[in-house]
Structures are given as C-alpha cells and as structure tokens.
Amino acid sequence: MSLWVGSLLGVSVFLVPALSPAMKASAEPRPSPSPSESPTPSPTNSPGPGPETWSLSPTEHTFPRICVGETAKTIFTISNNAGQALAISSAAASSPFSVSGAPSSVPPHSYATMSVAFRPLAGGLTRGVVTVDTADRDGQSATLSGSAIDRAISVAPLSLSFGAQKIAKESAPRYVTVANPGSDALHVSSVTLVGSSNFRITPAGGFTLAPNTQQRIAVTFTPDAGTTRYGTIHIQSDACNAATRTVELVGSGAVPTIDIRPKVVTLSALAGQRSPPSAITVTNSGAAPLTVRSIALSGVTSDQFTLSALPHFPVTLAPAGSFVFDIRSKPLPETATIPSATIVIASNDPKTKKATVAVKFEFATASPTAFAVPTPSSTPAASPKAIVSGPPGPGIGSYAGELLVTLGVLGVFATLVFLRDEKMRRVARRFSG
C-alpha cells in the first residue's frame, strides 16, 4: 500500500469480548444427529401453539328481537392459523342459546363454521356465552344477547251455536272472550264478521290489551227464515302465537212443524152399522208454536164420515204439544159404494201449510157366533152372564146385531121343527083312524 505525502489513513478498531468455556462449547459446530438419534420434545415441557394461532368470531353477537318460543340463528367461524390441525373438544352455549353443527377439528390454515341459536322461553333481555374448547390449545368464547317478546292471544270459545231462535227477533247476546296471557301489550287491529248478516258483533273494531287482561265480544243472531245461517269472526292481532284467530257461528230460525199420526186411516163396519172411532194425533215437532186453523173432510163421499172431539179453532200448540180427534163412518147399506175421504189440516207450518190424512173404508164380514153353557163353578158368580165365543166385534152395537141375527135364525129353525112334528102327528092319526 502506498501513501502520498499529506494523505490520511483511517483505521477501524473492533472490540471482541472473550468467550467463556461454556459459550465456546455451544458455539462449536456439532455434527447432525442421525434420524434414530433425533430428540423428541416432551409435550409437558414444550409449550403448544397459543390462542393467537386460532380464533372464534364474532367475539359478540346480539340476536334480533323475537317472540317467545321462536328461534333465531347465526353463524360463528372457527379459524385455524397454525400449521397443524385444531382438535375441537367441545362447543356449547348457555341456555336459552344452543350450538349445533360444531366441527370436531379444523385443518391447518383453514376454518370451519357452526350455528348458534336463540330460543327464548320467557320475555325480556337474556345474556349468555358460547365457548369452544380444544384438545391442546386454550379455549375461546364469545358473548351473546337477545330479547324476547311475550305477546300472546287467547280466544274462547272457538265456536258459537245459537240453535233455533224466533224469526225476526234478536237473540240474547253470547260472548267471545279475547285475552292476553303474555307480559307485553297485545294490539288487536280488527274484529270482522264474514258470512251471514243475521249475526252482529260488538265491538267490531280494534283494541289494545295490557298483560293479563281480556275483552269480551258480544254476538247476537236475528234469523229471517227457518233455514240455517253460518258466519265467522276474524280476530287480527300482533300476537306471537297466532296473528289471526277465528270463531265459527251457526244459528237457525225456529219454525213449527206439524206431525200427524197415522197418515192413513182404514175404517171397518158391518152393513148398516157405524164403525168404531179411530183416533188421529196432531203434534208440534218444531221449535216454534204451531197454530192449527182448521180440520175438515174433503172428497166426493166425505159426507159418509164424521169427525168428533175437535178442539176450538184456531188452536196453538207449544213445541212438543199435541191433541187428538176421532173419525168414524156412518151406517152404510151393503149395496152402498165404498166411500173414501181426505182429512185436511191447515196450520202455520211453513213447509206444510195443509197436511192430509187419507181415510178408507171396508165392510166387515159377520163371523159365526155360538153360545156356550158355563160349567158349574165352586166360586159364585157376581151376576149371570152369557158367554159368547168368536172373534171380538167392533163394539157393543155389533154384538147386539149379531145376537139378533142368531136369535132370528134359531126362531126359524124352531118353527120348521114344530111344523115338521105337527105334520108327522097328523099322518100318524090318519093311519091310526
């Protein structure tokens, strides 16, 4: 190296500390161990990856306000930033929050998701925590919160039946009760009636119910006919359990119904005699009073019959009420035309203004009558009686007629016997003389 006259020379000086024997030993290069000699760190002595190697997000979540009994869900993400898989040992949340779909592990430098749900069982604000624990790393958690609305509606009854009501007269009111069993105010926006206009509701608008209060809705029915009417009440509200509730309505007009038994009457009598009376019953089987205006016979030969035990018209029968009248035939010769007739019963029954009963007639045939002599008895009879065998006749008059016919026949027979005996006596005297 050459230096010119008047030039400068700079020298740098470095201080090197003396190494201790231990440091010299560690600083000396060591040969690489063979695979069989590679040391295995102890898991108790080697710390694993810290919490910064994985994360749970978000760290807090507030659920939207929902009704009691409903469910809201959100997604949480588990991110693994380490070079080895993240083993998940547990994932849980405090009630009323819950976890579903949590992974059992997360691959290196990857992520997985799980669902956290909020299902409140009571109204108000609820706070909670969701926690995820791992097998070899510190656990992590996130805060949760949610608000519940306890706004419910109760409606009873769900149907009303007015039965049969008097036509054109408004029924007594019946009630539907709307209640709020929740802890928040209930807003009923409308109460409307759909169907027959024969029903009427009060009130028909909306109203607000404080917690644990109720409102009654009055319902009346005014029938205009005997037919059945139907309607439906629609109750609209902001209740959580049912925004719309319905109440079914049914009613009919009360009308009288005439019922006649029997529908056909067949009378029978011997020639020249009247038939025994036959009873006919008129009943009101409806739900309103029945007014019977008249009962009359109709037909070409209706004059051969007579009615009896008729009430004074018009007669009114309450529901289930009834009365009875009789019909019988007049005496007819054997050569007479067989008569028939129709009984016409006029009433206020809207379906059967004039009810009818068919009346028929037939001649009865006389049956042979025999006389029997009563045998002696140890029990004294109260009074002597003639015992007549044969089928029962239609009445006392019939028995008397049969008895007269029998006596006449016996008289003729006795006369013939007497004449025969007298003739024989004459012949005997002639031969003897």
Average pLDDT across each block of 10 residues of the chain; the chain has 433 residues. List them in order: 42 42 44 42 41 88 92 96 93 96 95 96 92 90 94 94 92 96 93 95 92 96 92 95 93 94 95 95 94 96 95 95 96 91 95 95 76 48 39 50 70 70 65 55
d(CA 350, CA 284): 13
CATH superfamily of 258-363: Immunoglobulins (2.60.40.10)
Q: What's the confidence (pLDDT) of residue 136?
A: 83
Q: What's the confidence (pLDDT) of residue 346?
A: 97
- Residue 411 phi/psi, 5-degree rounding, is -65, -40
The answer to whether 195 touches 152, Cβ cutoff 8 Å, is no
DSSP string, 45-92: TS----GGGEEEE-SEEEPPPEETT--EEEEEEEEE-SSS-EEEEEEE
DSSP string, 281-337: EEEE-SSS-EEEEEEEEESTTGGGEEEESPPPSSEEE-TT-EEEEEEEEPP--TTSP
Residue extents of the structural domains in the chain: 51-149, 154-254, 258-363
What letter would DSSP give residue 37? G
Q: What's the confidence (pLDDT) of residue 316?
A: 96
Radius of gyration of the chain (CA): 57
Q: What's the confidence (pLDDT) of residue 12?
A: 40
| Count of CB atoms situated within 10 Å of the CB of 184 | 20
Q: What's the confidence (pLDDT) of residue 371?
A: 46
Entry pTM: 0.55
d(CA 119, CA 129): 14
- The answer regarding whether domain 51-149 maps to CATH 2.60.40.10 reads yes
**Model confidence over 69-127: pLDDT tens digits?**
889 999 999 999 999 999 999 999 999 999 999 999 999 999 999 999 999 988 889 99
Q: What's the confidence (pLDDT) of residue 402?
A: 66
d(CA 59, CA 140): 9
- The answer regarding whether domain 154-254 maps to CATH 3.40.50.300 reads no
Distances (CA, A) of 77 to 49, 118, 404: 19, 17, 121
Residue 369, classified by CB atoms within 10 Å of its CB into exposed (0-12), middle (13-18) or buried (19+), is: middle
- Residue 400 phi/psi, 5-degree rounding, is -65, -40
